């Protein structure tokens, strides 16, 4: 039996004024798939992801989501006056989680447990991004949409992220990851290259 579809984007168009960003983008993500979205700066990768998660409306086309999801935006969206623990508490309420065990496990995996009482405004850029990523993963959703989630990570944490991504895929989670890095391409099952407002699917070495 074919794996279940988690996300389907069909013939999506998006323009900002006269500037066309997406022109008939098609994109399907199945269970247990790690999909990469690549492209030059300003090619529309973040726009595509924001449309995929429902933060932005397409001008034309359809977006179908078949599961709950977690979204990690490109820029860290955190409140500088609140600590790491306070962020987790807020999102625990938002996601209606009975406890924060999984969230603290992620904090341990990403290696910023020592900063749990530090305000986001005082965290380093990399640690802010770790918090940003944790907020997207902490409810363990079947579909993850991650927009350059490892910006500012040191090499060890970068490696740990890909280990975590591999574990999630093996558990049947679906991941969509925007990446700029050539050496990340080996991790992807499919690569979608956004070029001239169109999405081209490319072969992978996996």
Partner 1 sequence: MKHQWTAFGVAFGLTLTGHLRNRLAMAMIAFFIPTWIYLVRATALNKNITFHTSTLGIHVTASMNRTIQVSSALHAVTVIAGFMMFMATFSARNMDQRLVLAGYPRLQLLAAKIATLLVITALLTGYCTVLLELSWPLTQPWAVAAALAAAILAYGGLGVMAGFLLRGELEGFFVVVMATLIDVGMQSPVSNPAGDQAGLEALPLFGPAQAALAAAFTDTATFSCAVRALPWFTATSIMAVLIFCARTRHYHRLTAARTDDSVGAGVQRSACGRRGSAVCTEEGQQVADRPPQDL
**Footprint of partner 1 on this chain (CB under 8 A)?**
3-4, 31, 51, 53-71, 73, 77-82, 86, 89-91, 93-96, 119, 135-136, 139, 141-142, 172
For residue 18, the minimal CB distance to partner 1 (Å) is 16
Structure tokens at 145: 């949409």
Question: Please, what is the minimum distance in Å from the beta carbon of residue 40 to partner 1?
Answer: 26
114-128 burial, b if ≥16 CB within 10 A, otherwise e?
Answer: ebeebbbeebeebbb
CB closer to partner 1, 67 vs 151: 67
CB 103 → partner 1: shortest distance, Å? Answer: 13
Strands 174-178 and 34-39: parallel
Nearer to partner 1, 94 or 181 (CB): 94
Q: Which is nearer to partner 1, 32 or 111 (CB)?
A: 32
Q: Is 165 helix (H, G, I), strand (E, B) or coil?
A: helix
Say which DSSP state 149 is in: T
How many other CB atoms sit within 10 Å of the CB of residue 192? 24
């Amino acid at each position: 039996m074919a794996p279940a579809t988690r996300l389907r984007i069909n013939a999506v168009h998006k323009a900002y004024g006269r500037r066309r960003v997406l022109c008939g983008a098609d994109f399907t993500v199945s269970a247990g798939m790690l999909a990469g979205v690549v492209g030059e700066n300003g090619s529309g990768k973040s726009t595509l992801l924001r449309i995929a998660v429902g933060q932005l409306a397409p001008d034309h086309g359809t977006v179908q989501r078949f599961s709950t999801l977690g979204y990690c935006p490109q820029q860290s969206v955190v409140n500088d006056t609140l600590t790491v623990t306070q962020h987790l508490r807020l999102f625990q309420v938002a996601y209606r989680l009975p406890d924060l065990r999984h969230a603290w496990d992620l904090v341990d995996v990403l290696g910023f447990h020592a900063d749990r009482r530090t305000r986001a405004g005082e965290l380093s850029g990399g640690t802010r991004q770790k918090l940003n990523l944790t907020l997207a993963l902490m409810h363990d959703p079947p579909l993850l949409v991650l927009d350059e989630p490892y910006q500012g990570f040191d090499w060890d944490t970068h490696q740990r992220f890909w280990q975590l991504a591999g574990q999630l895929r093996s558990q049947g989670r679906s991941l969509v990851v925007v990446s700029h890095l050539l050496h990340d391409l080996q991790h992807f099952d499919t690569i979608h290259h956004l070029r001239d407002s169109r999405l081209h699917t490319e072969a992978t070495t996996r």
